[in-house]
A = this chain, B = another copy of it.
Amino acid sequence: MIEPKVLKGFRDSLPSQEIARQKLIGKVQSIFRSFGFVPIDTPALEYTEVLLGKGGGETDKQMFRFTDNGGRDVALRFDLTVPLARYVSANYASLSFPFKRYHISKVWRGEKPQKGRFREFIQCDFDIVGADNAQSDFEILLLIHTCLSQMNVGAFKVRVSHRGLLNRFLATMGLESTCPQVLRAIDKLSKIGSEGVKQCLRDEGLSEEAIDGIVKFISIEKDDFGRTLSTLEGMFGNCPEMERLKAIYAMMKSCEIDGDFILDTSITRGLDYYTGIVYETLLLDMPQIGSICSGGRYNNLAGLYTKENLPGVGSCIGLDRLIAALEELGSPLVMDSSYADVMVAKTEDDSGWSQKVAMDLRSRNVKTDCYVGEKSMGQQYAYAQKNGIAYVVTAKDGDRLTAKEIATRKMLENITIDELAALALGSKEER
């Protein structure tokens, strides 16, 4: 006998987990589609050379990389951004730009497994490629706002900043060259606090004066987007970065969503490749969950594969974190262990009526599981209860049914199929 085990860092998804995941994916898909974003797909396996284009270093070591039977050096993709760059380069002539795409799919990283970190996980990316303007920046922010609003995760703020402002600020102190190190230090703020950031900057050899300046900059008051914008305008005047932020803010106001955004100079996102606005989210009731939707603008996405200049802006939803947040809230989005509303029991007398009743219920939009095992009626009720099924049909006489309401253990006698359908669909709405 072979032990039915999965690889370290990999996992099976049980029905209740997979139902939750699929519901969330269905929900974000329908939001993406309502914005006219289109789906794409790319191979899980690519030439290593293609995938390593941008990465190297840490990424290289984390890849599932091997030589295939044809002697090719291949690897499983470790994100959806590099494949996007390869994809828009390879299919440039077939696509419409600005190209708005979403991609929800698995990626693989051979990193050390730890709590909440897996070697196989789903990424949920959305990007606009081929535009560098306030409209496209804003649209990604609006999408993030729409996703969070429709998920009912409670009050939230989207924290926005612009990489260029920090660059300008460092330039005024003659510290441009330290920018990558400063970015990474600031990015750790929420984990290590401002004293920790100061120590990091000290370790990088910055002067106490510079450090004080930086900490003051990232501590600029951020209660209201418009007020922070004014403060920054006082510092930077009319530079392109301020123009961009002001245009984005005007659109937020026009769409009446400005209250859910803050301009937060402490947001940097660690990754080197961002060049414009950057953002992350904060759930006010669950700050410990961390950002569930982050990203930014990057210019020249596909420079390694094409001469076309392709600026982009995008974001990525952390599905596992979002599920954790919704579980903490007890959201009905992640609470089902079955899709079925009604189960039709298997009885001794069955010449096909149970399948017909199930069929008739389905035609009334009632999701119906026809029990096909060989267990006693008591065990069938237990099956229904375990799977969160509200009603079990146990008999049919003419056009009348007998059904058990699982929650109350009450038998409903002589009800019509329409009455049962109404009950089942009603009980669902209450949830």
Contact = CB atoms under 8 A, between A and B. Distances in A.
Interface of A: 1-8, 10-15, 18-19, 21-22, 29, 33-47, 49-50, 53, 61, 64, 66-70, 72, 74, 76, 85-87, 89-91, 94-98, 100-101, 106, 108, 110, 120, 128, 130-131, 133, 135-136, 138-139, 142, 250-255, 302, 304-307, 337-340, 343, 346, 350-356, 358-359, 362, 365, 367-374, 383, 386-387, 389
Interface centre among A5, A53, A76, A387 (most CB of B within 10 A): A5
B8 A70 contact: yes
Contact of A4 (B90, B128, B253): B90
A383 B96 contact: yes
A161 to B, nearest CB: 21
B66 A7 contact: no
Given A339-B37, A355-B255, A131 B44 contact: no
A40 B337 CA distance: 11
Given A133-B374, A139-B372, A351-B250, A305 B3 contact: yes
Contact of A305 (B4, B22, B128, B386): B4
A46 B6 contact: yes
Contact of A355 (B19, B49, B87, B135): B135
A12 B369 contact: no
Contacts of A386: 96
A374 B97 CA distance: 10
B44 A108 contact: yes
Nearest to A10: B43
Q: What is the copy number of this chain in the assembly?
A: 2
Given A10-B45, A12-B90, 20 more contacts: A1-B307, A3-B305, A4-B50, A4-B305, A6-B42, A7-B46, A12-B40, A12-B41, A18-B39, A35-B368, A37-B339, A66-B67, A98-B372, A130-B373, A131-B372, A131-B374, A135-B346, A135-B370, A138-B352, A139-B370
Interface centre among A98, A253, A307 (most CB of B within 10 A): A98
A133 B35 contact: no
Given A10-B43, A135-B350, A338 B36 contact: yes
Contacts of A49: 2
B306 A387 contact: no
A97 B374 CA distance: 10
Contacts of A87: 4, 12
Contact of A43 (B6, B90, B254, B371): B6
A412 to B, nearest CB: 20
Contact of A142 (B41, B44, B100, B359): B359
Contacts of A389: 36
Nearest to A307: B1
16 contacts: A2-B50, A3-B305, A4-B85, A4-B89, A7-B74, A12-B90, A14-B94, A38-B339, A45-B76, A128-B372, A135-B370, A139-B372, A251-B351, A251-B352, A254-B352, A254-B355
Interface centre among A131, A307, A362, A369 (most CB of B within 10 A): A369
A266 to B, nearest CB: 27
Contact of A35 (B2, B346, B351, B362): B362
A64 to B, nearest CB: 6
A352 B40 contact: no
B40 A13 contact: yes
A68 to B, nearest CB: 6
Given A130-B373, A350-B135, A47 B359 contact: no
Nearest to A97: B373
A50 B7 CA distance: 10
Contacts of A95: 14-15
A43 B7 contact: yes
- Nearest first, the 10 A-B pairs at minimum CB distance are A36-B369, A254-B352, A66-B66, A36-B340, A13-B41, A15-B38, A251-B352, A10-B43, A4-B89, A4-B305
